[in-house]
Amino acid sequence: MSFTFGLEAAKAAELDEPGAMKALIGLKLSASARFQDRPGACKLIEAAASRGDQTMAQRLADCRAN
């Protein structure tokens, strides 16, 4: 994966493309040193949960625990 892929994923998430936010969160929670960003992922999870995404609401507890 390239850095450009990460930027494109971020743009898609900003544009609210279907599945893009979930993909970007997965990328930020990955083991990849290039993309790993747990605090950033938790911010995105919090934003998605605040918009009513029940799946992300469940994941938010994990962010708060760690």
SS3 30: coil
pTM recorded for the entire structure: 0.73
pLDDT in tens, 35-66: 899 999 999 999 889 888 888 888 898 888 87
Q: Taking the CA atoms of 44, 46, 51 and 57 in sequence, report the sign of the dihedral they define.
A: positive
pLDDT band at 16 (very low <50, low <70, confident <90, very high): low
